[in-house]
Structure 1
Amino acid sequence: MVKTSSGELRGLVTASGPAVFRGVPYARADRFAPPEPVPPWSGVRDATEHGPMSPQPPFRIGAVMGEPPAGLPQGEDCLNLTIVTPAADGRKRPVLVWLPGGAYVTGAGSLDFYDGQRLVTEGDVVFVGVNYRLGALGYLKLDGLSPGNLGLLDQVAALRWVRDNIAAFGGDPDQVTVFGQSAGAHSIACLMAAPAADGLFRRAILQSAPMAMKIAKPARAERIARLFLAALGTDPRTASIEEILAAQEKALARAAGPGGLYSVPQFCPVAETDPLPPLAGWQPAAVRQSREVDLIIGTVRHETNAFLNGKPGITQIEALPFGPAVAAAAKNAITRWMFDAPSRRFADALAAAGGRVFTYRFDWSAPASGYGACHCVELPFLLGDRESWIGAPMLAGAGWDDLAELGRRLRGAWLSFAKTGDPSLGWQRHSPRGRPGYVWARSGPDRALAQAGSPE
């Protein structure tokens, strides 16, 4: 039993020990409206079942990381948290807030993929998974209809709720680390530039942030909004969820162009729109406002394999003489352009401004997957359990025990960083134009990581 600012909650104690509170509302919102505080309730609210996640299409890379179970609750009343704690006992433990990825159109912090119980039991920390609005419901921007950046405002609202309530769950509101992967990591970079999020987190971990994506210009946001409205053909304020999702997919297909070549997220954070600054000032604002935010930022070695392996154009190239080498070079070039180089530039800028920055690259790959160290491959080492990841194609040929040692060390680094601002393990602080501070790799049965530059 926990008392929050809106009322009492009843969670449950898991078989492994931690207490879990699910479907915890942190805000409410009408369609296309900013989030508002949750009205108080009377009595005790049950928090033993997951709340809805934002309405969404099937996972974009479900064929790589596996599909979540069918029939999970979805709905517009999706502004809720999953909280895992060793005990709601008033102690001040570090807090890790997870922002899931999914190209701003899929994902939820409540998915079993992202369960935080291993972090909680190993590190004596409090874990918070965030559900926020996605796709057109979260990022449509059009004057007179939707202000834009609603999903980002949801994240700010979640962090404010954590600041005001996490002490009741045994957490320290002054020691919050926000971490995320892919669009979740990109969101954190946006929050670092948002004055509204100033002071809401002390540390940040950005995993595989597509930093080349930047943030959208208002003109680009209006274009996707017009494509969405044309595909919808009815009033978006009263359209059904099914109609919204169908129109969203049609608009994304139109925006991607022939063959889907321009497939970067279109429903995404927009510049010059609350809470973000103009486009040119985005990353400088993040550096200026976040010099006191400790940062880990890194990528995996073969990011784009998750998106390009098996695609018709790639398979045609690979069937040609010398084709596999050409295709591999192209995928590596895209990985450097979208993920590696801009992440390094962001780290350089923050380090040059005096920030505490640590960088890494994750090189481990499963022996039979064919995906290499692809986008999302580090997630099973941090979150979830054997059951939630058992069918992930990116892990083909690797037993769960094969992940144990590297997972323990990776979680240990993240936990040490959340507690002290230092991932330990011999990492050096990032210096401008430096190499990755640490390379996580498969390097034999007894040695699961290697210092950057050392033999693997």
Structure 2
Amino acid sequence: MDTVVAAGGGKLRGFVTAGGLAEFRGIPFARAARFAPPEPIEPWTGIRDATRHGPVSPQPPVRPDGVMGVPADVPAQDEDCLNLTVLTPAADDRKRPVMVWLHGGAYVTGSNSFGFYGGHRLVAEGDVVFVAPNYRLGALGYLRLPGVSPGNLGLLDQLAALRWVRENAVAFGGNPDDVTVFGQSAGAHSIACLMALPESRGLFRRAILQSAPLGLRLAGARTAARTARLFTAALGADPRTAPVTEVLRAQNETIVKAAGPGGLYSVPPFCPVADAPPLPSVAHWMSQRARFAPDVDVLIGTTAAEMNSFLTGKPGIAQLERFPVTARGVAALKAGVTRWMFAAPSLAFADQLAARGGRVYSYVFDWGAPESPYGAGHCVDLPFLLGDEPAWRNAPMLAGAEWSELTELGRELRAAWLSFAKTGTPSPGWARHTPKQAPHRLP
């Protein structure tokens, strides 16, 4: 059954799901030329079809050996990718809390239309409005090359999406004054960037940061310049006019060279850059990201063994793990890098927010599938919150797990996230974060 709303630049025709939710796909929230900031969209006449997913940012294929598996439906790609999905119980006047999802993918891959990221369970169980935008990725979104690309375009896209939510949430039964932005990995790192910006003030009331690689900080001028040199050398053409296939090829070569021997240095070369609008310097970002702490409630946490998902199975690592003596060293390496890249900086951020008067909750997610070599690795929390059984059926990180177990534990986790989005408190059993306090253990 169709459903029609007036929002954005005109009327939109969505559809009603089998579960009775109203879904609108491929809604344009901005437009942008290559390497240009996002601009408002032009209004349209008539009723625009919003029953099909819009294109996503050009990106390489999802690795078949990834911990999450390969999405069943591969979305179309196009540089005209600034669109979003809205999922709501009803486009009425209820003014429900709004949850805006920023996907991860190392700033290079990801899509709001991956089945992994479906928000249907959250919407049905929590009576909330779910919004998931696409934003520009890789070189198209984060190349910093003076005279060509200013950098941070993907971040500007996210700001544009949040402004769209502010202006249009009411049309979908949402409350623009009760927005929670939540994201995982690069999506969570993006939220930490957004929290430092005066431009984002008033666009969200609460934030959930899952597995934010805050040890990454921001790319400095030297790092951004090196990435640009590697990229332009690999491209061998004007980035402003080169075919997008060539841009992706050069982007991949840049990532491989930046990762070094064995690909062990997996810090994304295309990422938010300091001293490029709208971001301040690295030092100022570290201090300013908590400047609005009293205005934004925060839930922040990591999985217990983040780096398992990046290092387990690597050729050199796998060889060392065959022998007990060296295996212990590898385990210590994984734990150490998890603390350095994820756990320690996330807790430091929580401390910083709490010291500035923010209401903060912290957690560690410690669950692993019985036959998975990744344990409580990066991304393992996602099936408990988003997507459904068909979307996650072939995920290597869930090997040996029964979906019934994920359903039971997931209901508890979703209830905590939904409670936080509605009240600023995950559940009565959670204590507010204070410096040097151990984070809440999940599940």
TM-score > 0.5 by shorter chain: yes
Residue aligning to 1:189:
192
Alignment of 1:374 onto 2:377: yes
Distance in 1 between residues matched to 2:220 and 2:261, nearest whole Å = 22
* AA partner of residue 439 (structure 1): R
- Which residue of 268, 271, 291 corresponds with 1:288? 291
Q: Give 1:382 deviation, angstroms.
A: 0.2
Q: Deviations over 1:166-216 (max 9, x none)?
A: 110000000000000000000000000011111100000000000000001
Within a 5 Å distance, the mapping from 1:151-170 to structure 2 comes to 151-170=154-173
Within a 5 Å distance, the mapping from 1:20-59 to structure 2 comes to 20-59=23-62
Distance in 2 between residues matched to 1:37 and 1:321, nearest whole Å = 59
Residue aligning to 1:150:
153
Within a 5 Å distance, the mapping from 1:188-267 to structure 2 comes to 188-267=191-270
Q: Give 1:291 deviation, angstroms.
A: 2.7
The 8 Å contact of residues 136 and 157 in structure 2, kept in 1 or not, is answered as: yes
* AA partner of residue 66 (structure 2): A
Q: Deviations over 1:31-86 (max 9, x none)?
A: 00000001111100000000001111123585211111364211111101011000
Within a 5 Å distance, the mapping from 1:11-160 to structure 2 comes to 11-59=14-62, 62-69=65-72, 71-160=74-163
Which sections of structure 2, spanning at least 5 residues, go unmatched? Answer: none
Residue aligning to 2:411:
408
Distance in 2 between residues matched to 1:223 and 1:327, nearest whole Å = 30
- Which residue of 2, 6, 13 corresponds with 1:3? 6
Q: Give 1:100 deviation, angstroms.
A: 0.3
Residue aligning to 1:349:
352
Residue aligning to 2:442:
440
Q: Give 1:431 deviation, angstroms.
A: 0.3
User: Secondary structure, in 3 states, of the residue corresponding to 2:79?
Assistant: coil
Distance in 1 between residues matched to 2:293 and 2:280, nearest whole Å = 14
* AA partner of residue 342 (structure 2): F
User: Secondary structure, in 3 states, of the residue corresponding to 2:121?
Assistant: helix
Residue aligning to 2:280:
277
Distance in 1 between residues matched to 2:100 and 2:137, nearest whole Å = 18
Distance in 1 between residues matched to 2:60 and 2:101, nearest whole Å = 21
Q: Give 1:5 deviation, angstroms.
A: 3.1
The 8 Å contact of residues 113 and 389 in structure 1, kept in 2 or not, is answered as: yes
Q: Deviations over 1:269-313 (max 9, x none)?
A: 011111111110112101112331000000001101111111012
The 8 Å contact of residues 13 and 50 in structure 2, kept in 1 or not, is answered as: yes
- TM-score under structure 2 length normalisation: 0.98
The 8 Å contact of residues 413 and 425 in structure 1, kept in 2 or not, is answered as: no
* AA partner of residue 91 (structure 1): R
Distance in 1 between residues matched to 2:385 and 2:331, nearest whole Å = 28
The 8 Å contact of residues 351 and 430 in structure 1, kept in 2 or not, is answered as: yes
Q: Deviations over 1:316-351 (max 9, x none)?
A: 211234222221111011101110000000000111
User: Secondary structure, in 3 states, of the residue corresponding to 2:441?
Assistant: strand
Q: CA RMSD for the aligned pairs? A: 1.1
Distance in 2 between residues matched to 1:336 and 1:405, nearest whole Å = 29
Distance in 2 between residues matched to 1:261 and 1:113, nearest whole Å = 26
The 8 Å contact of residues 110 and 130 in structure 1, kept in 2 or not, is answered as: no
Which sections of structure 1, spanning at least 5 residues, go unmatched? Answer: 442-456
The 8 Å contact of residues 360 and 440 in structure 1, kept in 2 or not, is answered as: yes
- What percentage of aligned pairs have identical amino acids? 65
Distance in 1 between residues matched to 2:371 and 2:264, nearest whole Å = 28
The 8 Å contact of residues 369 and 394 in structure 1, kept in 2 or not, is answered as: yes
Distance in 1 between residues matched to 2:287 and 2:26, nearest whole Å = 36
**Structure 1 residues 81-90 or 66-75, which shifts more?**
66-75
The 8 Å contact of residues 61 and 306 in structure 1, kept in 2 or not, is answered as: no
User: Secondary structure, in 3 states, of the residue corresponding to 2:67?
Assistant: helix
Q: Deviations over 1:84-132 (max 9, x none)?
A: 0000012100000000000000001221110001000000000001100
Size of the aligned set, in residue pairs, is: 440
Distance in 2 between residues matched to 1:194 and 1:416, nearest whole Å = 26
Residue aligning to 2:426:
423
The 8 Å contact of residues 59 and 102 in structure 1, kept in 2 or not, is answered as: no
The 8 Å contact of residues 293 and 357 in structure 2, kept in 1 or not, is answered as: no
Distance in 1 between residues matched to 2:147 and 2:158, nearest whole Å = 23
* AA partner of residue 414 (structure 1): W
The 8 Å contact of residues 4 and 168 in structure 1, kept in 2 or not, is answered as: yes
The 8 Å contact of residues 299 and 360 in structure 1, kept in 2 or not, is answered as: yes
User: Secondary structure, in 3 states, of the residue corresponding to 2:93?
Assistant: coil
Residue aligning to 1:454:
none
User: Secondary structure, in 3 states, of the residue corresponding to 2:369?
Assistant: coil
